[in-house]
């Protein structure tokens, strides 16, 4: 028997009504469905305004769907109960600037019912996990963007969730900081935690995600296992370094003379996921 999926979103629609603007409506999410198996890392990608954060907020029960359903481990996600199993790093996390990282973790830990040595131990473990143990007693007001994202991650893990929702965990983080976050995501995956993330860093998404959803203008335009989405049985790639233009032209000429194949793309190499993304999200969402 198949186990219950960690996440199941079915025909989700979210319309924002803007009463001040003569009842104008924004169709933020338009009939989106997706399923995430327990233990998977799922990447939701798409242009700005395509509905990723809104989908996640409905999943977290922070927004009510206009229609459709969102379930976490088989339970309607609007129910309070299932939120205990879910950790969330919001798009723009806010922390009290005067609190230290340790105090911040204590604050969130207490909200989840942790006290005493359990709280102290969880805090120490998580600060170590996100590599902030050296800065545990500094006020987070002085933290860099990368450190803030990491304390945000630690905060999302405080109640030992089975599902972690990360809305742009690497936003504004430098390449080495985002590698640290990528490694953390892989570490969580190895512990069997299910992860949903959004990101604009396609290369990283391609590295960590098992399954991908590409959104454009509120719709899911591609969805499925990463391998299947980017596999093209009838396409091959030759990756060259330092090729002069004449050589590239000769290669093109050879292909043209042969006549059995076509050059689809020539130029600087791109990740395969990036190519698919650009194909299916032709225009920006906003
Ligand atoms: N509270 C709200 N009220 C009105 N419109 C909203 C609200 N939240 C989101 N929207 C609109 O819904 C659409 C989808 O927004 P959303 O934040 O889900 O996009 P996104 O894919 O997360 O974008 P980004 O990559 O910039 O984070 C946008 O047109 C946005 O303006
Ligand atoms: Mg967003």
Per-10-residue mean pLDDT for the chain, 286 residues long?
84 90 85 96 96 96 95 87 82 92 95 92 95 94 92 94 95 86 93 96 92 96 90 78 92 94 79 79 56
- 5 CA to centre of ligand 2 in angstroms: 24
Please report the atom of ligand 1 found closest to the CA of residue 200.
Answer: 25
**CATH class for domain 7-99+142-280?**
alpha beta
- Which residue has the CA at smallest separation from atom 12 of ligand 1? 28
User: What's the rounded Cα separation, in Å, for the pair 150 and 129?
Assistant: 9
Residue 267 phi, psi dihedral angles, 5° rounding: 150, -160
Radius of gyration of the chain (CA): 22
pTM, two decimals, is 0.86
pLDDT value for 1? 45
Long-range contacts of 180-188 (CB under 8 A, 24+ apart): 180/131, 180/146, 180/150, 181/149, 181/150, 181/153, 182/207, 182/208, 184/129, 184/130, 184/150, 184/153, 185/41, 187/129, 188/157, 188/164
* pLDDT tens readout for residues 117-161: 999 999 999 999 999 999 999 999 999 999 999 999 999 999 999
- 132 CA to centre of ligand 2 in angstroms: 26
Task: Give the ligand whose atoms come closest to the C-alpha of residue 48.
Answer: 1
* pLDDT tens readout for residues 189-214: 999 999 999 999 998 899 999 999 99
Please report the atom of ligand 1 found closest to the CA of residue 168.
Answer: 27
User: 268: which 2 tokens?
Assistant: 């600087």
């Amino acid at each position: 028997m198949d186990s219950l999926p960690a996440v199941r979103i079915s025909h989700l629609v979210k319309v924002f009504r803007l009463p001040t603007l003569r009842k104008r409506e924004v169709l933020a999410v338009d009939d989106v469905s997706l399923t995430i198996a327990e233990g998977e890392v799922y990447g939701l990608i798409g242009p700005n305004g395509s509905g990723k954060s809104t989908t996640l907020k409905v999943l977290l029960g922070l927004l009510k769907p206009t229609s459709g359903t969102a379930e976490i481990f088989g339970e309607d996600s609007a129910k309070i109960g299932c939120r205990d199993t879910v950790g969330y790093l919001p798009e723009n996390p806010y922390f009290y600037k005067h609190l230290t990282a340790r105090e911040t973790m204590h604050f969130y830990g207490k909200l989840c019912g942790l006290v005493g040595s359990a709280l102290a131990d969880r805090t120490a473990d998580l600060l170590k996990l996100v590599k902030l143990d050296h800065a545990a007693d500094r006020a987070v007001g002085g933290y860099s963007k990368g450190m803030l994202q990491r304390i945000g991650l630690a905060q999302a893990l405080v109640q030992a969730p089975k599902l972690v929702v990360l809305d742009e965990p690497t936003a504004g983080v430098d390449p080495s900081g985002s590698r640290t976050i990528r490694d953390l995501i892989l570490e969580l995956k190895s512990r069997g935690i299910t992860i949903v993330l959004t990101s604009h860093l396609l290369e990283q998404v391609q590295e960590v995600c098992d399954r991908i959803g590409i959104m454009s203008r509120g719709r899911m335009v591609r969805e499925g296992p990463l391998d299947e989405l980017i596999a093209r049985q009838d396409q091959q790639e030759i990756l060259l370094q330092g090729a002069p233009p004449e050589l590239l032209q000769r290669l093109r000429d050879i292909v043209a003379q042969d006549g059995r194949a076509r050059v689809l793309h020539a130029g600087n190499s791109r990740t395969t996921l990036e190519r698919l993304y650009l194909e299916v999200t032709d225009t920006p969402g906003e």
